[in-house]
Chains A and B, each alone.
Chain A
Amino acid sequence: MTQITRDHSPTDNLSRQNDRGLLAWLIGRQAFWVFVAAVLACLALSLMSDRFATGQNLFNVTRNFAFVGIIALGMTVVIITGGIDLSVGSVVVMSAMVTAVLMESGQPVLVGLAGAIAVSLLIGAINGVLVASLGMPPFVVTLGMLSVARSLAMVLSNNKMIFEFGPDHSLLLALGGGSLAGIPNPLIVLVVLALITWFALTWTRWGRRLYAIGGNEHAAILTGVPVKAIKISAYMFCSLCAGLTGFLETGWLGSVTTNLGQGMELAVIAAAVIGGAHLAGGIGSAFGAVVGAMLIEVIRNSLILLGISSFWQGAFVGSFIVIAVAFDRFRRHSNSE
């Protein structure tokens, strides 16, 4: 029998053993090492480039990473159940477009936000029902949704750019692009959402059952866990995160085009996986999602600052996913011997 050591499990509250100290527990967590790597990368960049540690650049980095981070929280929840959501980039553009169309027609910003939330929850519910109730593979369902949602965003806007947001125009731009006490608003949303996600995963029945479904779905069914409802809620939560991001990005950019969020699913999945989420399910954490997103953005920013062509970004992000999974494979393999 292979022994699978899942010592970086976020279910540590139920697994941490008494005889292990806090330091040992920390060292065993992938998210901790990713955090260390991100800090080291920041330090190295500050030394190598005099532009990194400037206020403006840091402001940009934190805001960019906030968008990926917010969705990575939702993605982590889905990955914990053993699923995947490829449609998040399209949910971003779809919800942004709904916000834009509503506000352009003169609706207040709250209606725009409600529209973004409603459409993202609806898409999440459709994904969830197809996966949980009809038993379809998440990969296929959300790949289809990736195409459908982006296409609907094009239909909705007639593939035109929207940059006039009616009477609440400046309020929307302030919400997405502004800052509070020097901290970009999207970053505040990320921190609040990360705390909520951490709490839900660690301290609620819902969180506990997400891990159980990812660990052994059959066992969860036999012990009376409402597996379908919980899976649907996971996809809805992930979609909601993408919807909020769509709303905030609209305010940040000041315009919406139909290529918004294109290819974003890759960065988001990379962030979750680098942060320790297992694509096989059962493992992942809110903290991991945030530090994973942070590391990706720092690396991306460093490429720009160091004058490396932006064409290289995809190669880096893609390799990161593979390396993170390979790293974990290797460690589990060496543990089983």
Chain B
Amino acid sequence: MAVLELRNVSKHFGAIEALNDVSLSIEPGEVVGLVGDNGAGKSTLVKIIAGNFPPSSGELHVSGELTQLHNPADARAKGIEIVYQDLALANNLSAAGNIFLGREKTIGVGPFRILDYQGMYKRAGELFAELKSETRPRDLVSQMSGGQRQAVAIARTRLSDPRIVLMDEPTAAISVRQVAEVLNLIRRLQSRAIAVVLISHRMPDIFAVTDRLVVLRRGRKVADKRVAESSPEEVTGLITGAIEQA
């Protein structure tokens, strides 16, 4: 059963059609690349899935169940986690502090609760080990490389055992070696049957890690096919409009 299914989703802001009749289905453990030029509707689609705003029309099904998401917390409760482009990390906190941000572990009785530092370090260490990342739970995020910061943002999504992780341009601002690190992190999520939607401008990354790709152009879905059956040239053509439909 599809972990996430969009049926005929449209979104308009006033007279502007940001998304037009887009349908999309994602299976557990599937990595789907979402590509398109600026203004093609990628971020609108992500924001609908993330619960930032509802679609103007169309339906959202999570694990086969018709769902309405009113805010990001709703989406998170349904097992949808987002890795934002700016990663949403607080530099002055440690890796563990960021992973547990807003969901801090506490120990105590009734309303008398204190932060469970040891528990948070331990769980964060486990998550990093699972992701095979060298990041240490106690290190400050301000002292980390771009790849390590990505690992912290991705480890955060694992905290709640999500069913689907949306990643917005995770490889846009980091070095080549760190890109490989991030692509490995995506494969690890996949190996745990977590579906990943990868939004990226970088064609090599899409072809390295995704199973399927979806191309948006001017708010419409113009292609939805297996990566193995496509090529970077075809995708570029679809994005620019040189190829009408595939």
Chain A residues in the interface with B (C-beta under 8 A): 1, 3-6, 9, 11, 13-18, 202-205, 208-209, 211-212, 214-216, 218-220, 222-225, 282-283
Contact = CB atoms under 8 A, between A and B. Distances in A.
**Which 9 residue pairs are nearest across A and B when measured between Cβ atoms?**
A215-B90, A219-B88, A223-B102, A282-B92, A215-B92, A14-B94, A216-B90, A203-B114, A224-B102
A139 B136 CA distance: 38
Contacts of A222: 72, 82, 84, 88
Given A11-B93, A211-B93, A219-B101, 17 more contacts: A4-B91, A6-B140, A14-B93, A15-B93, A17-B139, A202-B115, A205-B106, A208-B104, A211-B90, A212-B93, A216-B90, A219-B98, A220-B90, A220-B102, A223-B102, A224-B102, A282-B90
Contact of A218 (B88, B92, B93): B88
Interface string B105-136: 01000000111010010000000000000001
Contact of A208 (B76, B97, B156): B97
A1 B144 CA distance: 10
B138 A15 contact: yes
A116 B136 CA distance: 47
A9 to B, nearest CB: 6
B231 interface: no
B115 A6 contact: no
B240 interface: no
Nearest to A222: B88
Given A205-B115, A222-B84, A224-B76, A11 B94 contact: yes
A3 B97 contact: no
A223 B101 contact: yes
A13 B92 contact: no
B116 to A, nearest CB: 10
Contacts of B86: 218
Q: How large is the interface on B (under 10, 10 to 19, 20 to 34, 35 or more residues)?
A: 35 or more
Interface in B214-237: none
Contacts of A282: 90-92
Given A219-B90, A225-B101, A5 B138 contact: no
B36 to A, nearest CB: 23
Contacts of B82: 222
A208 B142 contact: no
Contacts, number: 104
Nearest to B76: A224
Nearest to A18: B138
Contacts of B84: 222
B191 interface: no
A9 B72 CA distance: 30
Contacts of A215: 90-93
A208 B115 CA distance: 9
A223 B97 CA distance: 12
A268 B39 CA distance: 49
B138 A16 contact: yes
A214 B102 contact: no
Interface string B188-207: 00000000000000000000
B180 interface: no
B92 A211 contact: yes
Contact of A203 (B72, B94, B115): B115
A222 B139 CA distance: 22
Contact of B140 (A15, A218, A219): A15
Contact of B92 (A11, A16, A224): A11
A208 B103 CA distance: 11
Interface in B34-75: 72-73
A3 B88 contact: no
B138 A212 contact: no
Nearest to A219: B88
A219 B117 contact: no
B88 A216 contact: yes
B69 to A, nearest CB: 14
B143 interface: yes
B26 interface: no
A283 B93 CA distance: 10
B89 interface: yes
B96 interface: yes
Contacts of A209: 101-102, 104
Contacts of B146: 1
Contacts of A212: 90, 93, 97, 101-102
Contact of A205 (B73, B76, B104): B104
Contacts of A225: 101-102
A14 B101 contact: no
Nearest to B143: A3
A205 B112 CA distance: 11
28 contacts: A4-B91, A4-B142, A9-B92, A11-B93, A14-B117, A14-B138, A15-B94, A17-B138, A17-B139, A204-B115, A205-B104, A208-B101, A208-B104, A208-B115, A209-B104, A211-B92, A211-B93, A212-B101, A214-B92, A215-B92, A216-B91, A218-B86, A219-B89, A220-B102, A223-B156, A224-B76, A225-B102, A282-B92
Contacts of B102: 209, 212, 220, 223-225
B73 to A, nearest CB: 5
A279 to B, nearest CB: 14
A202 B82 CA distance: 28
Nearest to A202: B115
B117 A5 contact: no
